[in-house]
Amino acid sequence: MIFVLKPGVAQPKIDDFAQRLEERGFKTFLSTGTEHTVVCLIGNTASIDMDAVVETNDIVEYGRRVTEPYKAVNRNVHPADTMVKVGEVVFGQGMFQVISGPCSVESEEQIIAVARSVKASGATLLRGGAFKPRTSPYAFKGLQEEGLRLLLLAKRETGLPIVTEVMNQTQLPLFEDIDVIQIGARNMQNFDLLREVGRFNKPVLLKRGLANTLEELLMSAEYILSEGNNQVILCERGIRTFETATRNTLDISAVPLLKQKSHLPVIVDPSHAAGLRGLVSPLARAAVAVGADGLMIETHNDPANALSDGAQSLDLLQFDVLMQDLKARIEFEGKCLGN
């Protein structure tokens, strides 16, 4: 950690500042420039509230951290790619996975029909919402436990592993047979939930929050890994910006950046990013090309009458057409769809 002092501070004040830091167990090192003196702090600075030091010492102009705040997820610490295994399906290390299914599970007929169809088209995992976070208290909030039951039925029918969202930690006991636990964007900084999921010993799909930086996303993954669970898949799903032509702005740069900073697999959700069905296919193609390890795409057997997110869902034929296109692209990248 570095503290840059204001110009013209007298030496005794500098010495006093440095001594107080040394009393807290750090070594300090002064670098005196033409205008500013810089105090370099050596030791484990994780316990220091840097901003507090700045604001409460009149002589300090600002401070900077030298090391990244995340450890377990850091590629510097763990250089090789982490593989996330969902049964025989693998995320990372040259594999490419496509998670597909409806926003909400609505009925047995619907989820079985969608599961069969997306599997035939090439999807390798099934998604479907049982517990739905909704902006309005009056909107459909999912079939809840019955939704989970129907997802497991669809798994029995098709063999597709199941990805579904948990909304709070009291629901976790219901998720014992679910394959991948999804943490939704609005829960990315629900830290108690992250801890519980870290102890739950299942692969986790962690979606980036609407207004969260990549560093914050990695810190949330760090919560899960710090509890002993390294089976985490990161998901870019669009951030909130001033642009209103799309529901969110897909931050495609997040994919290569996250893969540089971390060893975890990274997938893209073009459906939530765009919020518009007509953009899902081009964005999915971009995600393959930019180096993502997978995709999450909303599909529905009857989008016009979907109980949620119909606007951004592909119908089953559209998804099939997209998958045939994506297969050639995945191969072009030298990657492998499925297991």
Q: Which of residues 289-308 bind a second copy (CB under 8 A)?
A: 289-291, 303-308
Q: Does 321 bind a second copy (CB under 8 A)?
A: no
Q: Does 169 bind a second copy (CB under 8 A)?
A: yes
Give the contacts of 158 (CB within 8 A, at least 6 positions apart).
115, 116, 119, 126
Tell the smallest beta-carbon distance from residue 319 to a second copy (Å). Answer: 14
Q: Does 223 bind a second copy (CB under 8 A)?
A: yes
Which of 22, 109, 159, 211 contacts a second copy by CB under 8 A?
211
Question: Rule CB under 8 A: which of 72-131 touch a second copy?
Answer: 76
Q: What is d(CA 99, CA 298) in angstroms, rounded to the nearest whole number?
A: 8
Both tokens of 192, joined, read 């108690």
Tell the smallest beta-carbon distance from residue 278 to a second copy (Å). Answer: 7
Looking at beta carbons only, is 52 or 120 nearer to a second copy? 52
Both tokens of 338, joined, read 């499925």
Compute how many other C-beta atoms are within 10 angstroms of the C-beta atom of residue 134. 12
Q: Please, are residues 66 and 251 in contact by the beta-carbon 8 Å criterion?
A: no
Q: Does 267 bind a second copy (CB under 8 A)?
A: no
Both tokens of 193, joined, read 């939930």
3-state DSSP call for residue 301?
coil
Taking CB under 8 A as the binding criterion, the range among 89-97, 113-121, 173-181, 325-333 that sits at the site for a second copy is 325-333
Q: Does 195 bind a second copy (CB under 8 A)?
A: yes
Tell the smallest beta-carbon distance from residue 107 to a second copy (Å). Answer: 17
Q: Please, are residues 319 and 299 in contact by the beta-carbon 8 Å criterion?
A: yes
Q: What is d(CA 230, CA 225) in angstroms, rounded to the nearest whole number?
A: 5
Which of 83, 112, 172, 189 contacts a second copy by CB under 8 A?
189
What are the start-end ranges of the H helices in 81-198? Answer: 108-121, 145-158, 191-198
Tell the smallest beta-carbon distance from residue 223 to a second copy (Å). Answer: 4
Tell the smallest beta-carbon distance from residue 332 to a second copy (Å). Answer: 6
3-state DSSP call for residue 66?
coil
Looking at beta carbons only, is 89 or 193 nearer to a second copy? 193
Which of 12, 23, 25, 242 contacts a second copy by CB under 8 A?
242
Residues constituting the chain: 339
Compute how many other C-beta atoms are within 10 angstroms of the C-beta atom of residue 94. 12
Q: Does 260 bind a second copy (CB under 8 A)?
A: yes
